[in-house]
Structure 1
Amino acid sequence: MADQVIVDKIIQALAEYLKRDAGTIKAAHHLRDDLGLDSMAVIELLYKIEETFDLQIPDQDLVGLATVGSVASYVEGRLAPAKPAAKKTAKPATVKSTKKRKA
């Protein structure tokens, strides 16, 4: 489940757009079937979410965003800092002298 702060912001954006009480919108609600959003309304909502979270949602990602919860999980994944690749620590090269010591 996505971070509750993200879910709450998305629900608030939906409530403002739909002009209804945020308490009536749940993470499990389907954007089209339960909330009655048509294609244009979904795009407008996602634009508002892009502004709210300062991110861009590529068109190819829209297909998987069907419920309030799926939108929240997507946003959370996009906001999570990229995990840095594990750094391999190189051992310093040891220099062996090829010169022979004089006794």
Structure 2
Amino acid sequence: MPFLPTAAYSIHLQVALDNVPNTLGRLATAIGEAGANIMSMGGFDVRGDLLVNDVVANCRDEDHAAAVVTAIENQPGVEILHWHDRTFDMHEGGKIEVVSL
């Protein structure tokens, strides 16, 4: 069985898309052809000639996440405004808190 994308390597991307037909299709195709799985997309924020959207995609590992980002960056009319590893963000600052009694 192939190593499938998992929520353990979930990335959140904020993207700006040219407000023209098929830009969203190219974004989704780039993510899928890179082997990632789109888990969610937020509503679009229309900013003139651009549409801004949040996308969450599951990847196989850190290297795969970087490859997915590169595949998206190579799409005309698509700009990544920000992206981060959702799992890493959940662990930022640690899970355990030490409190003096």
TM-score (structure 2 length as normaliser):
0.32
Higher helix share: 1
The structure, 1 or 2, with the larger RCO (C-alpha pairs under 8 Å, 6+ apart) is 2
Bigger Rg over Cα: 1
Higher strand share: 2
